[in-house]
């Protein structure tokens, strides 16, 4: 076994990004625009979202960014709005979003734990949303560590939240695998001295991710064999 722990990103990694967040974000934009087509367009542009295709542009900061950054972008287009209120509204709404797991998560995670691996989640989403979503699909109990950008450890690509997982689990960072779908995830992993695995269930492709990854897989289901190897 080449690792003692695996730290997963959430969106685009445990859950398919497009299948989960493109539709949800379209509804959020529509709700805040309140029927005003001009505001709807401004909000979409601020979030780097394609209204016609109903999906984020691959370069959107929202893909790897924090809830706060998304809330700030929305608030900037709504004069007189309160960014704190918008952030809270978005977190609550996101916690109830219909999710598209990348694989059948419960047996997959149990299989990893049965190998003696400690498992964690570190997302640039809020801790509240992360815990609610993982609980919603019945897998929160499979993780030893769940942290968001607001958990007090920082946000990716800063390595600090990744190192917090290693410290919490008393693991050598070099024996931890950081798994993610964005360069933020992988750069954070490299900075933390961890192994890095990229998956293609987000918006980034192999060409973008490969320079920062020890391996690139279609989805997290392929990691089991790689860890065994």
Asked if residue 166 has pLDDT above 70, the reply is yes
**Averaged over 112-129, what is the pLDDT?**
95
Confidence of residue 95 (pLDDT cuts 50, 70, 90): confident
Q: What pLDDT was estimated at residue 105? A: 98
**Averaged over 16-28, what is the pLDDT?**
91
Residues 6 or more apart from 61 whose CB is under 8 A from it?
A: 48, 69, 73
**Averaged over 14-26, what is the pLDDT?**
91
**Averaged over 87-98, what is the pLDDT?**
88
Question: Whole-angstrom Cα distance, residue 152 to residue 192?
Answer: 17
Share of the chain above pLDDT 90, in %: 86
CA angle 196, 116, 145 (to 5 degrees): 65
pTM listed for this prediction: 0.86
Which structural domains are found in the chain, ordered by start?
Answer: 5-16+100-228 (3.40.50.1000), 18-95 (no CATH)
The tokens for 56 are 């984020």
Q: Rounded to a whole number, what is the distance in angstroms from the first to the last CA of the chain?
A: 7
Percentage helix, strand, coil for the chain under 3-state DSSP, each rounded to 5: 50, 15, 35
Over residues 175-214, the pLDDT tens digits come to: 999 999 999 999 999 999 999 999 999 999 999 999 999 9
Share of the chain above pLDDT 70, in %: 100
Question: Whole-angstrom Cα distance, residue 183 to residue 188?
Answer: 8
**Coil, strand, or helix at residue 36?**
coil
Residues 6 or more apart from 54 whose CB is under 8 A from it?
A: 22, 23, 26
Confidence of residue 120 (pLDDT cuts 50, 70, 90): very high
Over residues 44-90, the pLDDT tens digits come to: 999 999 999 999 998 999 988 888 999 999 999 999 999 999 999 99
């Amino acid at each position: 076994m080449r690792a003692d722990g695996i730290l997963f990103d959430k969106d685009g990694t445990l859950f398919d990004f497009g299948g989960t967040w493109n539709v949800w974000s379209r509804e959020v934009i529509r709700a805040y625009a309140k029927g005003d087509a001009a505001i709807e367009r401004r909000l979409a542009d601020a979030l780097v979202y394609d209204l016609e295709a109903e999906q984020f542009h691959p370069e959107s900061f929202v893909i790897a960014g924090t809830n706060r950054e998304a809330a700030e972008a929305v608030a900037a287009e709504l004069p007189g709005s309160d960014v704190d209120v918008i952030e809270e509204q978005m977190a609550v709404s996101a916690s109830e979003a219909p999710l598209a797991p990348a694989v059948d998560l419960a047996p997959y995670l149990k299989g990893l734990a049965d190998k003696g691996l400690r498992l964690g989640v570190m997302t640039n989403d809020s801790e509240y949303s992360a815990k609610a979503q993982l609980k919603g699909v019945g897998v929160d109990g499979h993780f030893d560590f769940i942290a968001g950008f607001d958990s007090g450890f920082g946000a990716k690509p800063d390595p600090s939240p990744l190192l917090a997982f290693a410290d919490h689990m008393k693991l050598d960072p070099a024996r931890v695998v950081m798994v993610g779908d964005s360069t933020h995830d992988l750069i954070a992993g490299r900075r933390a001295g961890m192994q890095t695995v990229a998956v293609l269930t987000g918006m980034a492709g192999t060409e973008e991710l490969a320079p920062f990854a020890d391996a690139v897989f279609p989805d997290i289901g392929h990691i089991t064999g790689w860890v065994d190897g």
